[in-house]
Amino acid sequence: MPTELYDVCELMGSDQATLQGAMTSRTLEESQDFVTADLSASEATYARDSLCKALYSRLFTWLVNKINESTKVATNRVCKVYC
């Protein structure tokens, strides 16, 4: 197994065989039967790029939310009225 696949699986907490299968084949349902077909090189490349984009997007959103939470100014919930 390539070390890159191992590293990605470690970070995602995924099984190597599952991720490799998802990146190199697709499963179709035809009349209550499942058919597995291998992806071409260009289709596998597209699947890899799509996974990278999705992971990057989720990581970026998580990071922005963490930064926003840590820089949030605490507000005083008790309002005082001065006359």
Query: Over the stretch 11-51, which tens digit does the pLDDT of each residue have?
Result: 889 999 999 998 999 988 888 889 999 999 999 999 999 99
What is d(CA 13, CA 22) in angstroms, rounded to the nearest whole number? Answer: 15
Residue 2 has pLDDT above 80, yes or no: no
3, 10 Cβ separation under 8 angstroms = no
The residues near 48 (Cβ < 8 Å, ≥ 6 apart) are 23
Structure confidence at residue 29 (pLDDT): 87
Structure confidence at residue 53 (pLDDT): 96
Domain boundaries, the chain: 3-71
Kindly report the length of the chain: 83
CATH 1.10.10.410 for domain 3-71, yes or no, is: no
